[in-house]
Each structure stands twice: as structure tokens, then as C-alpha cells.
Structure 1
Amino acid sequence: MMKVVIVAILALATSLVSADDPSPLQDFCVGMNNTDSAVFVNGEFCKDPATVIANDFFFCGLNIPGNTANKLGSSVNLVDVNKFPGLNTLGTSLARIDFAPYGLNPPHTHPRGTELLVVIEGTLLVGFVTSNPNKLFTKVLNKGDIFVFPIGLIHFQFNIGETNAVSFSAFSSQNPGLIVIANAVFGSDPPINLDVLIKAFQLDKSVVDYLEKQF
């Protein structure tokens, strides 16, 4: 009986520390929007391997700068399994992030993926905050520098230069997910109870009302 309990505990521990996408049991499983397919893996129906072609593993367009003419001065082009079906079951995705001078990719989390960022042009101030205690790890990055943001932790990137900046990020998930902190807190649908926000952030009602209108 004790041996069975130990095996069960080890199995549970293994499942908890396995934070990335599950390992594939086949070479590939190109996603497709066809519910007639008999194979369903990682949230996608699989294309018949006999009909798979080279273009299923090809994506273009990350050479094109994103539009940074917005309040934040940044643009993120995430290439995940939803845009690139060939990524299905492969446990990876990629993003291009463009920054105007002093542009910001605001505090956010990726609940399903670790992020590895490399600076292509410009100078970025980046950082993440640990879960308990809330310790900040921050660094100024220049062209060619790399920084990693652990899965699920709040992080940000800020262009501290007077010129445009570009970075690329690789993720340990085909669909890392995104929770922008300010949007989630002040722009949820339906809204979070006003009294909850007032007490949580120790703000006047007028300030919370203003913040909710922004998001």
C-alpha cells in the first residue's frame, strides 16, 4: 500500500513541475480547421500526414515592423499555433516586438510559457517580479543581449532610448497565453466589483472609475 502511495505522489509531483506543453509522440501534427479529422491533439485537429507539405512549416512576415502609433508606443506580433498551425504539438512559438522611442510593453504574464527575449535593435529596460516575495529582477539590454522571463511571472519591456527598438521572443509553448495586468484588472468583462478594486488598491472611487474608462 505504501509503495502505491509513493508512486502516486511522485506522479503528481511530476505533473506539477511539467510546466511546458506535453511532449509529442509523433514527428508533427499540423493543425487544421476541420472537425472531420479523427485526430485531436493539443486543442487542434491534425492534418493527414500524407497531405502535409513544406509550407505547413513555413511562416513569413516578421520582417515587417509593427505599428507603434498607439498609447503604449509598442506593437507585438505573436506567431503562435493560432497563426501558424505547423507549431501544433511542438511546444514553441515566437513574437516580434517593436518599440517607438520610450515605448512600453506593459506589465503582463504568459500563464503557459517561459519567454526568452533577444534585442535586435535599441536599448530596453526589462524586468520581472517573483511570486513570493515580490522581488524585482531588472536589467538594461542592448543589441544582441538576451533575457529570460520565467513562466507565469509578471514582466515588462521598456524602450529607454531615443530611437526605435526591436526584439524577438521565443516561448516554451505553442500558445503561451497573455494577461496584461492593467487590462485584466480594470477592463475585465464583466467588470470586477468596484468595492473590491477600491479596497485592493486603496484608491478613491473616482480614481477607479477613471482607470476603468481607460481600459
Structure 2
Amino acid sequence: MFKHNISFDSWLNNKVNIQLIHDIRYKLGVLSNEKITIENSLKGFKTEEEVQKSRISKSKEFERLFLGYIDDLGVKTLKEDRYISLYNISAFPSQGVELHKTVLAYNFALNKLIEKTDGIHRFPFMLDAIFKEDIEQSNKNAIIEFIGKNKPNDTQLLLSIAETKENEKSIHEYNEKYFNGMAKLICIGEGVRERAFLTQYDGSMEVYLDETLNIIN
């Protein structure tokens, strides 16, 4: 006949162990479910091989667009991979107006590639200072013609041109000739005041302001 020496301490220890085992099993179940959920969500991502294959495809598409835009702008064709491969470009072997045009072609090619990619949110296409100070008029015409011809149709195009009040006529001519007179022209500081980008709010476009504040809030 066996005798069990059961004390309060041994009873309490058993109860604690039972509760710990229950908690551990519960946590293991929760973690197992989380693991399954994470594994299922990861199935929606591409493998490293698939990513590399997609990159090669995107790079080839970018190269086609980029070289086409370079040709349109009259820039010498680039041949080395480090200048035309999307994921290898760090600089271009040109300077002055030619470099300016090359960078413009690069930006348009990249923006077009984004436009062709599904599932990506599109921001307005912004181009700052499209004319360098030393660009002659023929190159200005070529640049603005290129922009008008290749502007995106699915989002806004915002561009800035540094012109004085005396040259205001040419801006309106660009609008009529290359943008069908549809571009909204904003002359910061009326072409005469410096540092005039931010001005006192005059109460106009209140609907847009309210809509923006509602979205922010």
C-alpha cells in the first residue's frame, strides 16, 4: 500500500505547473497561428529570383524609353550599361546643356515606367527649372516641345521656368504652341518681386483649402 505525502506546497506547485503548461500550450497555439498567417502573407511576395527577373524586365523597358527620349532631344546616344541600366546609373558622361537634356530624358523615362506599373500610387510629375541660364533659344524650344509631346496623361504636370517679366510673352507662346493653351500659368511675384513664392492668403480657392484640411484631419 502506497502512501502519498501531499502537502499544501506540493499541491500548489502542481497547480502552478498545470497552469504554466496550459499557458505555454496556449501561447504555442497562438504563435503557430501567427506563423501560418505570416507564411501565407509572404506567399504574396516574389522570390529573390522573381524579383531579379522583374528587375531585368523593368530595366530593359526603361532602357528602351530612355534611349528613345534621348534621341528625341538630340543627345548623343549612350551605350555603356552603367549609363542606361536602371539599377546601375549613378552619373552621366556629359555636361552643360547635353547633361541637362539627358537628366530630363531620364526623369521622363522613369516617370513613364512608373505609369506603366500597376498598383503604384501616382504623384504629380514635377520638373523644376527646365531651362538652365545658358541655354540658347533653340534648345529651349526643343525642351519645351519634348515636354509638351511626352507629358503624362494620367496625372498633373507641374514645371517651373525662370523667366523675367520682359520674357513673359514667350511663356504664353509656349502654352499656346506646345500645350494647346490649356496650361495654367502662375507667375510668382509677377516676375518682378523676389522671394515671393509665399504670399498672404487672399481667400481664393476656399473649397480646395477646406478639402485639403479635411483630408489632413
TM exceeds 0.5?
A: no
**The structure with more strand, counted as a fraction of residues:** 1
Structure number having the greater helix percentage:
2
TM-score by length of structure 1 reads 0.23
Q: Which has the higher contact order (CA 8 A, sep 6+)?
A: 1
**TM-score computed with the length of structure 2 as normaliser:** 0.23
